[in-house]
A = this chain, B = another copy of it.
Amino acid sequence: MAKLKVGIIGGSGYGGGELLRILLFHPRVDLRLVTAHQQAGRRVDEVHPNLRHLTDLRFAETTISEEFDELDCLFLALPHGESMTLVPELPDGVKLIDLAGDYRLQDAETFARYYGRPHASFHLQSQFVYGLPELNRERIGRAQRVANPGCFATAALLGTAPLIARGLIEGTVIVDAKTGSSGSGAKPTMNTHHPRRANSFFAYKAFSHQHRPEIVQTLRAVNPEWSERLILQTHSAPMVRGIFATIYGRLGRRLVWEDLRDLFQEFYADCFFVRLVEGSPDVNWVKQTNFADIGWAVDGQDVIVFVAIDNLVKGAAGQAVQNMNLMFGLEEQMGLVFPGSHP
């Protein structure tokens, strides 16, 4: 069968690096183009030495050329705020998957507030389908352009959607989320300086994380009657990979553990990448994979849901490839069925 001709815009960061790690081995992908502004001309495996002996690609400039017209699919793995100036210039015929936050929010004001700048091409936002396959599989299958979810949003949504969909939660939902250092990107900063980070734990962006409106907007789509508040508090943990979300909610009525098991099983019946676990999930078991492990506990009307994902795979590049598979009618898990390691 013919392979898809695929390109990556912004291949030098961690999101782009993970896309490379996956797409180079995808049986239906022919990776034609990888750009990286500052690294243009360098071999890909100089920037990502984990790929030595696995690719001879070189980074191209992030300049739109005729080459783009021949592509079937383009991944954008740029810093937030860069896609929105680039997308208007991209050829219409190429399917797009944007890993940044530029086209996720359906409200321009909310975007401006949370991302700290006005949107440069908001008229195009409605062309983008929100790419969380477990909630949106069919629309993604028909989409020309997909806005890939944020990493915290993915974890929060997978944990809350079944409960919100069934109208089981009353009052505020609290998402206490913890991320590994790779979530801060490939550029060294004080917060990722090893001497400081290695025995560190701290919170950041209280009441202001840009994934909050994305979660709320999506839950409202899941259940238009849901109108409660949601609090997202993000933290930095001294691990490299993974997000762990602890989600607190108040049930409208008393339930037991098995009730929620049935609910989650039904809701995620066709979802290969969701694994339901007894007790707590652990980022150790999802690291470097596209799996989302979900557990929960109930005490009367109090429920806690636990979600573990890898921030760069199910929270970014893996999910983007899952979206590509759906957009091109391929098997959803193609190229994504690999385990993490035990230790």
- In the complex formed, the residue of B with least CB distance to A16 is B342
Considering the chains assembled together, what is the distance between the CA atoms of A237 and B51 in angstroms? Answer: 22
Known A21-B341, A237-B178, A302-B231; judge A275-B198 contact (CB<8 A): no
Bitwise interface map of A from 25 to 51 toward B, beta carbon under 8 Å scored 1, else 0: 100000000000000000000001111
Query: Which among B14, B50, B202 is the interface contact of A244 at CB below 8 angstroms?
Result: B202
Bound-state Cα–Cα, A304 to B49, Å: 22
A148 within 8 A of B: no
B306 touches A203 (CB 8 A): yes
A182 contact from B181, B246, B343, Cβ within 8 A: B343
Asked whether A244 and B248 contact (CB < 8 A) given A50-B339, A51-B339, the answer is no
Q: How far is the CB of A195 from chain B (nearest CB, A)?
A: 3
B240 pairs with A194, CB closer than 8 A: yes
Most buried by B among A24, A187, A233, A341: A341
Total number of A residues with any Cβ neighbor in B under 8 Å: 85
Number of copies: 4
Tell whether A52 pairs with B275 under 8 Å between CB atoms, given A14-B343, A189-B188. Answer: yes
Point out the residue from B187, B288, B299, B308 that lies within 8 Å of A341, measured CB to CB: B288
User: Are A248 and B231 in contact (CB-based, < 8 A)?
Assistant: yes
> Given the complex of chains A and B, what is the CA–CA distance between A239 and B52 in angstroms?
22
What are 13 A-B pairs at a CB distance below 8 A? A24-B339, A49-B285, A50-B289, A50-B342, A52-B293, A176-B246, A181-B194, A199-B284, A202-B244, A202-B280, A203-B246, A203-B295, A233-B304
Q: A residues near B, CB below 8 A?
A: 14, 17-18, 21, 24-25, 48-54, 172, 174, 176, 178, 180-182, 184, 186-190, 192-204, 206-207, 229, 231, 233, 235, 237-242, 244, 246, 248, 250, 272, 275, 277, 279-285, 287-289, 291, 293, 295, 297, 299, 302, 304, 306, 308, 312, 337-343
> Beyond the given A54-B339, A196-B342, could you list 14 further A-B residue pairs with CB under 8 A, ordered by the A residue number?
A17-B342, A21-B342, A52-B293, A178-B237, A193-B193, A194-B197, A197-B284, A200-B283, A200-B284, A202-B283, A203-B304, A204-B279, A206-B299, A231-B248
